[in-house]
């Protein structure tokens, strides 16, 4: 079992986050989850999922399986395991990643546990994947993305492909989640691959 960190922030795209959690837990990964207040707001607005950050209950995310492998950390808990480089993980995903979170990580800020854990992954040369969902992109956002890519992060925008002939929104979500799993090295047979 591998430990993977998932941060949910306030960008649109909550469906990517919940599907990613389902897939990772279904693949028997232990997931360390932290959610920003804006991330909780987007979960409510887009999916009708009410997450109480002070007294989090995994059932609030309506996950299909594996919630016993979900470890929740409050977004201001700097004493959490994931705030330290000595806690080994297989990687971290910020999905969706707001432009504010992306800017904070790109500039070395640690204003909350999500930013601190991301900073740890960069300094320890571990996999950090950010999944921005924003359009259009201005020069500041693009510079922050370049800064993160130069520091070793994977910038994986939530841009679903269409060559697999999606039939539903679920298919489009799975396309992005499959790409995230590829980057983490987690096997997930979610979409037909090109050439198969």
CATH number at residue 159: 3.40.50.1950
**Mean pLDDT to the nearest integer, 69-86:** 97
Using the predicted structure, report yes or no on whether residue 4 has a pLDDT greater than 90. yes
Specify the pLDDT at position 1: 55
Q: Is residue 100 part of a domain?
A: yes
pTM of the model: 0.96
All residues at 6 or more sequence positions from 171 whose CB lies less than 8 Å from its CB, including other chains: 164, 191
Question: What are the DSSP calls for 53-64, one per residue?
Answer: STT--GGGGT-S
Q: Is residue 3 part of a domain?
A: no
Using the predicted structure, report yes or no on whether residue 196 has a pLDDT greater than 80. no
Q: Is residue 78 part of a domain?
A: yes
Boundaries of domain holding 148: 13-184
Q: Is residue 4 part of a domain?
A: no
Q: Are 184 and 90 in contact (CB under 8 A)?
A: yes
Q: Is residue 190 part of a domain?
A: no
Write out the two tokens for 125.
């040369």
Q: Is residue 192 part of a domain?
A: no
Q: Are 129 and 153 in contact (CB under 8 A)?
A: yes
User: How many separate domains does the chain show?
Assistant: 1
Mean pLDDT of the chain: 95
């Amino acid at each position: 079992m591998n430990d993977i960190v998932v941060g949910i922030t306030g960008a649109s795209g909550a469906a990517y986050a919940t599907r990613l959690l389902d897939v990772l837990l279904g693949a028997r990964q232990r997931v360390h989850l932290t959610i920003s207040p804006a991330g909780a707001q987007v979960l409510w607005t887009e999916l009708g999922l009410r997450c109480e950050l002070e007294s989090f209950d995994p059932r609030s995310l309506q996950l299909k399986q594996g919630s016993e492998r979900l470890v929740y950390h409050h977004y201001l808990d700097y004493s959490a395991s994931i705030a330290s480089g000595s806690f080994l993980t297989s990687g971290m995903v910020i999905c969706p990643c707001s432009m504010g979170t992306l800017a904070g990580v790109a500039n070395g800020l640690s204003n909350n546990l999500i930013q601190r854990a991301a900073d740890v992954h960069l300094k320890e040369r571990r996999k950090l994947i950010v999944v921005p969902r924003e359009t259009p992109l201005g020069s500041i956002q693009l510079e922050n993305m370049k800064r993160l890519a130069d520091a070793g992060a994977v910038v994986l925008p939530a841009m679903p492909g269409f060559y697999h002939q999606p039939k539903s929104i679920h298919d489009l979500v799975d396309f992005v989640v499959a790409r995230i799993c590829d980057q983490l090295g987690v096997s997930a047979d979610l979409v037909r691959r090109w050439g198969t």
